[in-house]
Amino acid sequence: MASRLSKLTSRHGEWVTDADHKIDVYHVTSPHLLIQAAGYLKHVTGKEGLYGIHFRGQATLYGNSLKPTLYRVTKTKGNAAKQNGALYAYIKECQQKSEVLKHLPEYAWEAVLQHYGIKTRWVDVVDNVWIALWFACQKAHATGHQGEYFHFEQRQPQGNSDYAYVLLIKADHTPDVHQPGFYSGKNTELVDLRVAAPSMFLRPHAQTGLLVRQKGEVGGAIIDYKDLVAGIIRVSLHDALHWLGQGKLLSTHVLFPPPVYDFGYRDLLNFAPKPPKDLGAIQHVGA
């Protein structure tokens, strides 16, 4: 994967091919270099006015692929169109049968539903590299008929080849003056839910939550957003866990606030209609 990260030189970093996934990554051994590498792409691309850079933590890499949840099992544009139709119908049902979306502008509806478990066309990213690294150190488990019961377990190093990955995701960053928190450009759309959604929806504020989607092409949707990956930073899992430590602010309880604190989440659990099975569910997150 071509990336400007390959231009970085440091005694604490190396541009290598990840043996397990056969993908080029920038491996870092210092928390300072992690921040510097992430900041390097933010700076150079922002200075050139190309796009903004955001972060996505993953415990593994899925080949040269980055699919939104709605299209994870979709292989054709025809199937993607069917998935889109089911999603549009569900969003309309939410709007008609409950009040869960009344506090949100329409352009944030789908993004908020994604953040709380519904499968959509958006990909979750964050604006804080430490939170991205936290997600890369977790193993997610889902159970229930629609994966509605969800929890995280911290990964534990099993050997020298256990890694945490931070994907650097690019998105056009031209603000829409008529839609606060919404950014749109030639290739992508991005929603900053800290602006678009009130903090009664606490989770996106806790996670510095943003979502990005690639704009569809003529004749159908883009089902793989791999072109949005500007680079990948790799950290050994042992190092990542050591750097993060055990601070309460980086815990499931804080990053996924329970419904007693997250009022928007509580309303979704209480009032959102049950979606079709292929769209997942509003998830009950164990914290």
Q: What pLDDT is attached to residue 160?
A: 75
Instruction: Dump pLDDT digits (tens) for 33-72.
Output: 999 999 999 999 988 888 999 999 999 999 889 999 999 8
Which residue range is the domain that position 39 belongs to? 4-285
Reduced DSSP (H G I as helix, E B as strand, rest coil) percent helix, strand, coil of the chain, to 5:
35, 25, 40
Structure tokens at 162: 């256990």
Q: How far is CA 257 from the centre of its chain?
A: 17
Instruction: Dump pLDDT digits (tens) for 128-157.
Output: 999 999 999 999 999 999 999 999 999 999
**Spatial separation of the C-alpha atoms in residues 179 and 18, rounded to whole Å:** 40
Q: What pLDDT is attached to residue 166?
A: 98
Domain count, the chain: 1
H helices of 4-136, where?
A: 31-47, 77-97, 109-115, 129-136
Residues linked to residue 164 through DSSP beta bridges, in sequence order: 235
Instruction: Dump pLDDT digits (tens) for 157-179.
Output: 987 779 999 999 999 989 999 99
